[in-house]
């Protein structure tokens, strides 16, 4: 390979920031590529695409993306993204962050942004633990899983994220794993073009922390597990898509509906008459 | 059709401080407000909810104050002037992302209508207990700008001033008001739109692949590209270099934090404003800010009637602190009296800056404003 040869993704990434910080076997590289491919295929004006994250391994994605990118504080990506979108509705705003960031410290922001149907896209990489801080349990860690802060096995019930998203009001809800490259890419593309609050969960390997302590093998072994244990069930009630420790992984598109967004519902001042004013 | 009011309500009004603050924001182009209800700042949200749709702006009631602060940072990055308003408990929650605003250098305004604390404290009664939190409330080293209005008119004027300073120096600016000023109703005069001085953020030159997000000009402030303009904005709460890239080393930390502080400290002459009354020959000087500055002025006038050489130094900018001005009056006066609605916060700064040149007396009060006679009594005791 000649030194001048460039990767097809080079214009979409900040190549001068490579190498990235992610461990070998991590799913983030694949997930990131799916997002970049989806954005390119979507036909959106890249100057109007914005990416926002909180803190964590996934939170580093914006810093590698060659569009307007915002790496905010832990848990706060969603309200930051909401501010960007409402202040300039021309922007296509995507939050790309991890399960701990979005659903523990940021959980309240998630449910309220979904409730308001703010037109932003949330992509959540769920690796079942806090990877960057060395592998602690989080709001998605399955019961009985071993982490550095659940050494006897996790005794907290996890969230079913797709059910939470649907119940909170998201208009588009899907779940894939890092091995579903084609389907995940298509789903992200749909979400980018969908009006309203969209949510995509990506089940993704963390061999260094979660996988190692739970004897799941290396990254490739986890990908093989996804291939063998994922089952596509489009359109099912997300309540039935619960995840368990080393159980079946239900994937698919569960919700795709239309309803007015926060901006659609803004008061139409041109329709205000003097009589309305008490 | 309903007569929709314009953004600038030129003319005379009888208005409370909270409403005047909202009108000041609208008059200088604020078109995004995110807030969470809290006494005694709620009236700002209420006014904004009515007025923002009239001027084509966005009002959003967030789920909490952390979200409010983040939403206004995001809106500002989209190029829209933005504001939030709160009181003590909400101010604590906002400190997290106030720090993000400092680090990312985001122009916006954070209003604190101070009430009594700590914790839930006195929701409906006045306080000035967040003055040190304003200075040091978020973690890390940084400089802030904080203004302290004393009247509804100043709530209008200083909100505009706060926006202008935030746009000029690229940081969230604090309007540290208090419950008395927020809830006080007085005459305010809103000038003609053309007479309102408005400062907008510096814009970078046309984008090239050599563009550096955080390369500062001589004034130590980098021009600001908004999202959606093609500049490939990269920004982070992490310590970063001129490109905006994370830089995890001591050199980068030293360089960035020093510049963030210096852009305020080296421009103190432009930022700091104080007012003096009868200080020329004064032997006793009252240093006050916010609502107690009103009682202090009355006390000084009463003292003068009794032939006592008293004066008032009113702080309009509390942060950055007017070190040089305090030393100047400390060199002239025998005694400085500092009435505050707290246990004595800014008095420590006054002591630090007066270098033992004169006697400094703290006059703390909690939950209520000092009457002029309470301040006068101390002036007279000192004068004996």
Judging contacts by C-beta atoms under 8 Å, the chain B residues touching residue A76 are 66-67, 70, 96-97, 100
Nearest-angstrom CA–CA distance, B128 and B116 = 7
Of A81, A87, A269, the CB nearest to B80: A87
- Mean pLDDT, each 10-residue run in order, chain B (384 residues): 85 98 98 98 98 97 98 98 98 98 98 98 98 98 98 98 98 98 98 98 92 96 98 98 97 98 98 98 98 98 98 98 98 98 98 98 98 98 95
User: Is B72–A83 a contact, with Cβ atoms under 8 angstroms apart?
Assistant: yes
d(CA A232, CA A199): 17
C-alpha distances (whole Å) from A190 to each of A91, A171, A186, B363 are 16, 12, 6, 64
Q: Which residue in B144, B155, B145 sits closest to B177, CA to CA?
A: B155
Could you tell me what percent of chain B has a pLDDT over 90? 98
CA distance B338 to B356: 15
Contact A47 B229 (CB under 8 A): yes
**H or E stretch including A231?**
strand A230-232
The CATH number of domain B11-195 is 3.40.50.970: yes
User: pLDDT at position A75, please?
Assistant: 98
B46 Cβ contact list (under 8 Å, min separation 6): none
- Rounded-to-integer distance, Cα B104 and Cα B101, Å: 5
Q: Which residues contact A41 (CB under 8 A, 6 or more apart)?
A: A185, A189
A 231-270 → B contacts, CB under 8 A: 262, 266-267, 269-270
Neighbours of B43 (CB within 10 A): 19
Closest by CA to B258, choosing from B272, B271, B239, is B239
- What gap in Å lies between CA B172 and CA A39, rounded to an integer? 33
Q: What DSSP element (H or E) covers B235?
A: strand B234-236
Domain with CATH 3.40.50.970 in chain B: 11-195
Cβ within 8 Å, pair B228-A88: yes
Q: How many residues does chain B have?
A: 384
First-last CA distance in chain B: 67
Share of chain A above pLDDT 90, in %: 92
Q: Are A63 and A69 in contact (CB under 8 A)?
A: yes
- Which residues of chain A does B78 touch, with a Cβ-Cβ cutoff of 8 Å? 83-85, 87-88, 91
* C-alpha to C-alpha distance for A137 and A67, rounded to whole angstroms: 32
Q: Which of B49, B71, B93, B207 has the most A C-beta neighbours within 10 Å, making it the best mutation to test the interface with A?
A: B71
Question: Does residue A272 sit at the B interface (CB-CB below 8 Å)?
Answer: yes
- Is residue A241, in this structure, part of any structural domain at all? yes
A112 token code pair? 């309220």
Pair A180, A251: CB distance under 8 Å: yes
Name the stretches of chain A with pLDDT < 70: 1-4, 271-278
Tokens of A147: 């982490």
User: Which pair of structure tokens corresponds to residue A116?
Assistant: 């308001």
Cis status of the peptide bond prior to A157, with omega within 30 of 0: no
CATH 3.40.50.920 domain position(s) in chain B: 275-383
Let me know if A215 is exposed, middle or buried by CB neighbors in 10 A (0-12, 13-18, 19+): exposed
Overall number of domains in chain A: 1
Are residues A266 and A116 in contact, defined by beta-carbon separation less than 8 angstroms?
A: no
User: CATH no. for residue A146?
Assistant: 3.40.50.970
Is any Cβ of chain B less than 8 angstroms from the Cβ of A88? yes
Domain that holds residue A250: 45-260
Does B78 contact A91 at a Cβ distance shorter than 8 Å? Answer: yes
Give Cα A212 to chain centroid, integer Å.
23
Beta carbons of A87 and B2 less than 8 Å apart: no
Q: Which of B71, B74, B79 to mutate to test the interface with A (most CBs of A within 10 A)?
A: B74
Distance CA A49, CA A64 (A): 14
- Residue B262's Cβ-side half-sphere holds a number of Cα atoms within 13 Å equal to 13
Q: Nearest 5°: CA angle at A168, between A104 and A254?
A: 100
Nearest-Cα distance to chain A for B383, in Å, is 53
Q: Which residue does chain A place closest to B77, by CA atoms?
A: A84
Cβ of residue A48 closer than 8 Å to a chain B Cβ: yes
- pLDDT computed for residue A78 by the predictor: 98
Domain B275-383 carries which CATH code? Answer: 3.40.50.920
Q: Is residue A211 part of a domain?
A: yes
CA dihedral sign, ordered A133, B237, B117, B37: negative
So what's the pLDDT on residue B233? 97
| Pairwise CB contact (< 8 Å): A68 & B231 | yes
Report pLDDT for B209: 85
Rounded Cα distance, B323 and B317, in Å: 11
CA distance A254 to B115: 48
Interface size A-B, in CB pairs within 8 Å, comes to 145
Q: Which residue does chain A place closest to B54, by CA atoms?
A: A269
- Min distance B1 CA to chain A CA atoms (Å): 4
**Angle between helix B65-77 and helix A77-87 axes, rounded to 10 deg:** 40
Residue of B nearest to A278 (CA): B2
Q: What's the pLDDT score for residue B196?
A: 98
Which of A78, A86, A168 should one mutate to test binding to chain B, selecting the residue with the greatest count of B CBs within 10 A? A86
Gap from B59 CA to chain A (nearest CA, Å): 10
Residue B263 and residue B256: Cα distance in Å, rounded? 11
Inside any domain, residue A215: yes
Q: What is the value of ipTM here, to two decimals?
A: 0.97
Nearest to A73 among B82, B97, B233 (CB): B97
């Amino acid at each position: 390979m000649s030194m001048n040869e460039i990767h097809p993704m080079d214009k979409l990434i900040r190549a001068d920031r490579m190498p990235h910080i992610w461990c070998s076997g991590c799913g983030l590289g694949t997930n990131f590529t799916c997002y970049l491919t989806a954005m390119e295929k979507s036909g959106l004006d890249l100057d109007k695409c914005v990416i926002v994250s909180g803190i964590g391994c996934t939170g580093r994605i914006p810093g590698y993306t060659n569009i307007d990118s915002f790496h905010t504080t832990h848990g706060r990506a969603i309200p930051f993204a909401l501010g960007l979108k409402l202040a300039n509705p021309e922007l296509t705003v995507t939050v790309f962050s991890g399960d701990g960031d979005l659903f523990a410290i940021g959980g309240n922001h998630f449910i309220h942004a979904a409730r308001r149907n703010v037109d932003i896209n949330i992509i959540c990489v769920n690796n079942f633990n806090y990877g960057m801080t060395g592998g602690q349990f989080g709001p998605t860690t399955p019961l009985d899983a071993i982490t550095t802060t659940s050494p006897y096995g996790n005794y907290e019930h996890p969230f079913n994220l797709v059910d939470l998203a649907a119940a909170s009001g998201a208009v588009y809800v899907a779940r894939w794993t890092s091995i579903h490259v084609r389907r995940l890419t298509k789903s992200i593309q749909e979400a980018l073009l969908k009006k309203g609050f969209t949510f995509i969960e990506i089940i993704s390997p963390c061999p260094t922390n979660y996988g190692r302590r739970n004897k799941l093998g290396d990254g490739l072994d986890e990908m093989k597990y996804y291939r063998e244990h994922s089952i596509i069930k489009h359109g099912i009630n997300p309540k039935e898509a619960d995840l368990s420790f080393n159980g079946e992984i239900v994937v698919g598109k569960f919700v795709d509906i239309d309803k007015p967004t926060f901006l659609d519902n803004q008061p139409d001042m041109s329709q205000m008459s003097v009589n309305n004013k008490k | 059709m309903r007569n929709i009011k314009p953004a600038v309500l030129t003319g005379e009004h009888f208005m409370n401080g909270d409403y005047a603050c909202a009108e000041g924001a609208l008059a200088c182009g604020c078109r995004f407000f995110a807030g969470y209800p809290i006494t005694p700042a709620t009236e700002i949200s209420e006014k904004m909810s009515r007025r923002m749709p009239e001027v084509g702006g966005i009002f959003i009631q967030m789920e909490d104050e952390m979200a409010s602060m983040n939403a206004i940072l995001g809106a500002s990055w989209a190029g829209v002037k933005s504001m939030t308003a709160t009181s003590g408990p909400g101010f604590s929650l906002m400190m997290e992302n106030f720090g993000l605003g400092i680090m990312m250098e985001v122009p916006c305004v954070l209003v604190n209508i101070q009430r009594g604390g700590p914790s839930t404290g006195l929701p409906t009664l006045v306080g000035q207990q967040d003055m040190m939190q304003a200075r040091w409330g978020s973690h890390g080293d940084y400089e802030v700008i904080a203004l302290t209005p004393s009247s509804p008119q100043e709530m209008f004027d200083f909100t505009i001033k706060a926006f202008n300073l935030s746009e000029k120096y690229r940081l969230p600016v604090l309007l540290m008001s208090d419950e008395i000023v927020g809830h006080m109703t007085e005459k305010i005069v809103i000038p003609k739109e053309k007479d309102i001085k408005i400062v907008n953020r510096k814009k970078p030159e046309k984008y090239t692949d050599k563009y550096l997000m955080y390369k500062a000009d001589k004034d130590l402030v980098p021009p600001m590209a908004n999202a959606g303009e093609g500049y490939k904005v990269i920004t982070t709460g992490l310590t970063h270099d001129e490109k905006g890239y994370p830089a995890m080393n001591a050199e980068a930390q030293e360089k960035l934090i020093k510049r963030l502080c210096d852009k305020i400290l080296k421009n103190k002459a432009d930022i700091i404003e104080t007012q003096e009354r009868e200080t020329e020959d004064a032997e006793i000087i009252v240093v006050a800010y916010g609502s107690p500055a009103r009682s202090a002025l009355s006390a000084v006038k009463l003292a003068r009637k009794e032939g006592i050489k008293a004066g008032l130094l009113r702080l309009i900018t509390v942060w950055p602190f007017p070190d040089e001005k305090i030393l100047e009056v400390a060199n002239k006066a025998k005694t400085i009296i500092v009435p505050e609605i707290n246990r004595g916060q800014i008095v420590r700064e006054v002591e630090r800056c007066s270098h033992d040149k004169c006697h400094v007396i703290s006059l703390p009060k909690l939950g209520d404003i000092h009457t002029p006679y309470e301040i006068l009594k101390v002036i007279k005791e000192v004068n004996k």
